[in-house]
Structure formats: C-alpha cells, structure tokens
A and B are shown apart, each in its own frame.
Chain A
Amino acid sequence: MTLAFFETSQSLTMGVELELQLISLSSFDLTAESPDILALLQRQLFPGFVHPEITKSMLEIATDIHDNYQTLLDQLLNMRDKLILAGDRLNIGVCGGGAHPFQDWSERRIFSKPRFKEVSELYGYLAKQFTVFGQHIHIGCTSGDEALFLLHAMNRYVPHFIALSASSPFVQGKDTLFNSARLNSVSAFPLSGRAPFILSWDDFRENYFTKMEHTGVIKSMKDFYWDIRPKPEFGTIELRVCDTPLSIVRATSLACYMQALCRYLLANRELCQPSEDDYLVYSYNRFQACRFGLDGTIIHPKSHEQLSLREDILMTLRKLEPHASILQSLPAIEHIHQLNHCGSDATYLREEYILRGSVEGMVDASLEKFRK
C-alpha cells in the first residue's frame, strides 16, 4: 500500500485524542474492563468517539474537528461526563495521568482485536508495558509540505509539551524521579523517536516512505511511533509526546497552546526555518523535560545557549498571546501560564502521595481531579 496523498484540512483546526485509565474502584488498580464499559456506552449516543486501546485497562476518546477553545472544551467535558456516568454504574473509575503508579504490567490483558494481537506478538512484553496513557493533538494543515514544515519547526518546542503535560512520576509503585516516565516506555520501540528531516511531501512519500515499505519494516504510517508524525488521511500533524493530563481543562489548554504555536510558526516562517542540525540537541532536551519537568534546562537548537525550560515557556507564551487572542483561546494561554508557575500534574501527584500516604491515595486524587 503506497502512502495516500495528503488530504487538505482547514488550517489550524484541531482534534484531541485522550488515552484514559480504567481503575477498579475497589482496589484502585487498573482493571481489564474496557469491553464492559464499551458495551454500556454503546447503549446511548456518545458525544464523540470512543475506542478500545491495546490493553483492556485503557480507553481512548477522540473529539471532532474544532477551531477554538470553547467548543473543544465543551465536547471533551461532555464525553467525560458520559464516561463517569457509565463508570459509576460499573464500579470503574476513569482518570487521566500518563502512567498508573502501581500496576503490574504482567497482569495486563491484550484487547482481542487482530491488530492488537499482532502488535503484542511482535513486541512481547513491550506491548503490555505500553499500558501508558498519552494525549495526542492533531493540527490541520493545508498541504503535506506545510505539515512537514510544522512538524520540524515544532521540534524545538517538544520539551514544552512534555514538561507541561508530565503526569507520570511513579511506575510499579516507586518514584522514578522522572516527571514523565511514560515516554521511556515509548522509546523502547524500534520505530520511535523523530521523523527524518524531509520538508517536501513528495520527497517524503517517494524517497522515504516507499523505500521503508520496500524494506518490509513498515506497512503503514501507524507503524511509526514518532514524537510528531504526519497523518495524511486526516490532513494533520499529530503530536504524541504529551502525558494525558489529570484534568480536561489542561488537555484542552495544551491543544490550544499547540494551535497558537502553529499559527505563530506559520506567520514567522522565515524566522523559524528548521534544519537538520536542530536535532543535535533534541534527545538531550527531551530527556531534560522528562526527567526534571518544568525545572529542566534545555539547549537552544540555534544559539546553543542554556535556557531554563520554565522561562522559555514564559517567553513563548508572550509571543503567542496575540495569536491566541485571534484564535479565541486566551483562557488556554492563561491556564498554561498558571501551570508553568505552580507546577505540573507530576508535582501535584507527588504532593498527594505524601499527603495521603499511599499510591492508592494518589490514584484516588487523580480520579477526583478528572471529575472536577
């Protein structure tokens, strides 16, 4: 199957996918009950899309296409309410967070669907380890070339999204010292990382995708687990580094932050032209954001100067304000501002752990936050 042509989307439209945790309200552990909750949700019209994910303790919700903060927030809140209602009837809690703090990966069950079974057979324990929960943000692009420009121009901002969304400090019952431990599970996959530096869609399709397909390593774009990947059938680029935040407002704000950022990049194309050398510092910056969150120090890809991640976000927010104002997403910018100042969900979870004295209490805190 050769790669489809890049569908044209309306510029700067957005869509959000959230992978959510299914929690047993009896034990606060993950519970393999996605078939039960999906069956119950099917009885009524769902205000969006809901899908199973690779293991039965995960659920993915996806929005329609939006162009502003308010409608996106409304739809996500609607979907959340339906999920909570269904969960309550089944003693299942639904919550965000990039990773469950004490689940045992070997107890996870693969959802019975051919693609999931294939992935599980190929990747072995990696597939079950992949019971981590991310937010994917889609931004509409008018052409494949525009998509690739945005994809690479965005690389410099990837640490922002990691640090702002970080919500996976604990794994297997222990503090990892990371703010986003989730991304370590993604890195284990052979086709993870960054997209090759190609800026023309025709070039990408013919000289990269087709060649890769001939090698037999991949069959479709889905086989790439890149941090940002083009989605030609939607006409979007998809940012995949975010942990699922604990609250819907935060998820919405992150999406709008990316939307405003894309508008800024398109408006300042000359200034923000990406180059292959930008990627010299990419992995280091990404690590800093995962490990230290907003307290991390990154290296500017062009000037090579050291920057505090928190200050870099602050400067970016200032640049984005006029764009956010036009996109009607100022509440999102305000929220990110607050978040940058007060600390991420990972910080909140660590505080709750100390306050409540157990990892179970930490899960309970996530459940409460998702309902707010």
Chain B
Amino acid sequence: MIYLTNLATEMAWPITIILAWIIGELAHRWLKLPHISVYAIVGFALAPSQLGLLPQPSSYSMLILANMALGLILFESGYRINLRWLKTNPWIGVTSITETALTFGAIYFLVREFHVSLALALLLAALAMATSPATILCVINEQRSAGQVTERTLHLSVLNCVLAVFIFKIIVGLMILKTSGNIWHATYTSLTTFFISVLLGAIFGLIVPAFLRIIRSTHRDSTLALALAVIFLVLLTHTLKQSPILASLTFGLVARQRHIVLSSSQRGFGVLGSLLAMILFVFVATTLDWHRVIAGIGLGLAIIMIRYLAKIIGISCFSYVSGITHRQGFLIATAMTPISAFVILVLEQSRYLGINLVEQLAPLAAIALIIEVLGPVLTRLALLWAHEISDKEDL
C-alpha cells in the first residue's frame, strides 16, 4: 500500500501532463479550443486545492521547468521583434505607451474604488498592464497566423511586458523603502534587478551568436545551441535572483539583430518547446486555489473588463494613423486579453524575494484563472476575425 501511495505521488505529474495532452487534443479537434486553454483547465482541476491529484505544495523543480519554458517562449518573442519598426513607424510606440498608461490609470482607480490599499492598488495596476507574450506566441504558432493584427499584438505585448516589469519593480522598490527605510535595499531589489537582467540578456545576445558564427562550420541550424543558452541564462538569472523573464526577452531581442538562424521548422523550439510550454501552462494553473478565485471574482471580472476597454481606446485611437483600420485596432485589443502566465511567475518570483503578493491580491487568482482559459480563446478569435488564420476556404 505504501508503494502504491508513493507511486501515485511520484506519477502525479506525468499523469497530469498526459491527461492534459489527451484532453487538449480532443478539445482542440471538437471545440476548436486552443491547447493551452485546456492545459490550464486540467492544471486547475487537478491542483492540490481542488481534486488534489498533484502534491502540495508545487515543487521547486516544477517552478524551474516552468521558468525554462517561459524563457524559451520569451526568447522567441524577442527574436520576432523588429525594433526598427518603432523607428520607421513611431505610432507603434505611441500606441504602446498610451494603452499601457491608460490601463495603469484605469485599473488603479477601479481598484481604489474597491477599498484596496494604495500600495496593492499600484501593484495590481502594474501587473494588469502586462500582456502575456507567451500565451500570444503559443496561439500564433499553433494557428500559424500572419498579418498586421498578429504582428502588432506580438510587438505590443513584448513592449507591455518590459514596461510592466519596469513599473512593477519601481513600485516594489518604493514599498520596500517605505517599510524598511533602506534606500540601498529598495533600489537593489527594484531597478538594479531590472538593469542587471537586461544586461545579462544583452551580453548573451552578443556573445552566443558570435560564438556560433566562429564554430559553425557544420551546423546551419542553431536551434539546439540557442535552447541550451536560454536554459542556462534562465537558471543563472534565477539563481542570482534576477528576472529570467527580462533576461531571456532581451537575449532574443539582441540575438535577432545578429541574424543567427532559428530555422523556421524549429519555430517554438520544436518538440522541446511544445513539451515545456505544456508544463508551463499546466503548472501555472495549479498554483491557483478555488477559494481565492471565488473571493476575488467580482473585482477580477471588473479588472478584466476595464483593462479591455482601456486597451480598445488606447489602441484604436492611433490605429488609422499607424496604417491599419479601426477594426484591426479593436481586434488587436481583443487579442491582447491574456495576462496571466506572466503575472503568476512574477508573483512566484516576488515570493522568493520575500514579498507574498498572492496572499494579498485575491482578485489576481480570479483574473489568472479566467484569463488563462479565456485569453487564448479570445486571441484566437481575434486572429480569426482578422482573417489572419487560414480557414477551410483558404486551402
């Protein structure tokens, strides 16, 4: 009997992953649900606080795996960003700043209406700014979509992500300053983290391609080498308590300028990428507790709606001058619904840094769950309505 219980504990994760895969395939075929929505549902259902198949608490190694997965996806997101576009079409940058600022302001005032403390309201507002490039890239890769809505959603979400981490770190710094009064500690935890992570990513982005160029006489495809480099960088930044998210994103951004080849057949790092992405999206949902989801559902829904409105206004008002239609602007706002995977990992990070936000920000659990499931669906629909996914007619 002891062996059986042991077996169940040991096999909990493999069983969960296989279940997620099977249900994901079926739901994708029958209901056209994006795979990652289903992974979230399965992860949430089997989490320790729900059905309880998975052991409590979620292990440290799973967090590391999820971080690696996120690192790979963010590297690819960065790799697909063309920074020169911001120069050739300045309206992209204007759109990004406007919509993030609007989101921040709108969420802050909304949350304050619900009598949330000043510091928490600021943190919530900063987190709500961020769009998850991970979710968006997974949907784009799964649907093989292409077009202005796809491109802009990806670019805006990466910009969002960087801005959100920046603001988030500043607010955390201010909070620490207020409680401890230690300005060095405050600056270190906030801005230093930001800049060190960016710097590490940039160094990798310069050194790795140069190294590959020197030794690459036999391999035209550097996917494996890049995957190893990303994983190394994630573990390094994690150990140094820096931000793996920013570092891998910057790595991708810089590497792209060096023209190393991430061959198109290996987009999303092939099978390795898909496997890790599964673990990521299942894992993220397992950290949620239904008590907290219920407790925060009112405010959670309100935040989602207000955030959506802010994005619609922020993006649509510049869509025509930036070269697309208002309809496309609206669809980009819709496609940018996903927030969560990113948010939760940020939270997990802060927990290790000594701030426990999950306990204090109940609405986040609700937002995370709703968005984790609905986000990919909305992104897919937006891309479909924009005619950027090939439908049957298109064969």
Residues of A within 8 A of B (CB): 24-27, 29, 31-33, 35-36, 39-40, 86, 88-91, 102, 104, 107, 109-110, 112, 117, 120, 173, 356-361, 364
Chain B 213-228, CB-CB to A under 8 Å as 1, else 0, gives 1001000100000000
- Is the Cβ of B322 less than 8 Å from the Cβ of A89? yes
- Is the Cβ of A86 less than 8 Å from the Cβ of B323? yes
Give the contacting residue for A89; candidates B81, B88, B387; CB below 8 A. B88
- Is the Cβ of B85 less than 8 Å from the Cβ of A25? yes
- Is the Cβ of B81 less than 8 Å from the Cβ of A26? yes
Q: Which residues of B contact A24 (CB under 8 A)?
A: 146, 151
CB interface residues, B 300-332, toward A, < 8 Å = 322-325
The total of interchain contacts (Cβ-Cβ below 8 angstroms) comes to 75
Give the docked Cα–Cα distance between A33 and B148 (Å).
7
In whole Å, how far is B340's beta carbon from the nearest beta carbon of chain A?
25
Give the contacting residue for B89; candidates A36, A39, A89, A357; CB below 8 A. A89
- Is the Cβ of B393 less than 8 Å from the Cβ of A360? no
Closest residue to A357 on the B side, CB-wise?
Answer: B213
Give the docked Cα–Cα distance between A102 and B264 (Å).
9
Number of interface residues of B (CB under 8 A): 32
- Is the Cβ of B261 less than 8 Å from the Cβ of A90? no
- Is the Cβ of A358 less than 8 Å from the Cβ of B264? no
B144 at the interface (CB under 8 A from A): yes
In whole Å, how far is A115's beta carbon from the nearest beta carbon of chain B?
15
Give the docked Cα–Cα distance between A320 and B264 (Å).
46
B271 at the interface (CB under 8 A from A): no
B395 at the interface (CB under 8 A from A): yes
Q: Which residues of A contact B387 (CB under 8 A)?
A: 35, 112
Give the docked Cα–Cα distance between A120 and B394 (Å).
9
CB interface residues, B 246-271, toward A, < 8 Å = 259-261, 263-264
In whole Å, how far is B369's beta carbon from the nearest beta carbon of chain A?
32
- Is the Cβ of A27 less than 8 Å from the Cβ of B220? no
Q: Which residues of A contact B323 (CB under 8 A)?
A: 40, 86, 89-90
B147 at the interface (CB under 8 A from A): yes
B115 at the interface (CB under 8 A from A): no
Give the docked Cα–Cα distance between A40 and B322 (Å).
10
In whole Å, how far is B157's beta carbon from the nearest beta carbon of chain A?
13
Give the docked Cα–Cα distance between A89 and B87 (Å).
9
Q: Which residues of A contact B155 (CB under 8 A)?
A: 91
In whole Å, how far is B273's beta carbon from the nearest beta carbon of chain A?
16
In whole Å, how far is A354's beta carbon from the nearest beta carbon of chain B?
12
- Is the Cβ of B81 less than 8 Å from the Cβ of A36? no
What are 25 A-B contacts with C-beta separation under 8 Å?
A25-B85, A26-B80, A26-B82, A26-B154, A27-B264, A31-B147, A32-B146, A32-B388, A33-B148, A36-B147, A36-B324, A39-B324, A89-B89, A89-B322, A91-B155, A102-B264, A107-B144, A110-B394, A112-B393, A357-B213, A358-B220, A358-B260, A358-B261, A360-B259, A361-B259
In whole Å, how far is A222's beta carbon from the nearest beta carbon of chain B?
22
Q: Which residues of B contact A109 (CB under 8 A)?
A: 146, 390, 394
Q: Which residues of B contact A88 (CB under 8 A)?
A: 88-89
- Is the Cβ of A33 less than 8 Å from the Cβ of B261? no
Give 14 new A-B contacts, CB below 8 A, not counting A24-B151, A25-B82, A358-B220.
Answer: A24-B146, A25-B84, A36-B148, A39-B324, A88-B88, A91-B88, A91-B89, A109-B390, A109-B394, A110-B394, A120-B395, A173-B263, A359-B261, A360-B261
In whole Å, how far is B349's beta carbon from the nearest beta carbon of chain A?
28
Report, nearest first, the 7 A-B pairs whose CB atoms are least far apart.
A89-B323, A88-B88, A91-B85, A36-B148, A358-B261, A89-B89, A32-B146
In whole Å, how far is B305's beta carbon from the nearest beta carbon of chain A?
29
Q: Which residues of A contact B84 (CB under 8 A)?
A: 25
Q: Which residues of A contact B85 (CB under 8 A)?
A: 25, 91
Closest residue to B321 on the A side, CB-wise?
Answer: A89
Give the docked Cα–Cα distance between A29 and B147 (Å).
12
- Is the Cβ of A26 less than 8 Å from the Cβ of B151? yes
In whole Å, how far is B200's beta carbon from the nearest beta carbon of chain A?
23
Give the contacting residue for A29; candidates B82, B89, B220, B264; CB below 8 A. B264
Give the docked Cα–Cα distance between A39 and B387 (Å).
14
Q: Which residues of B contact A107 (CB under 8 A)?
A: 144
Give the docked Cα–Cα distance between A102 and B393 (Å).
25
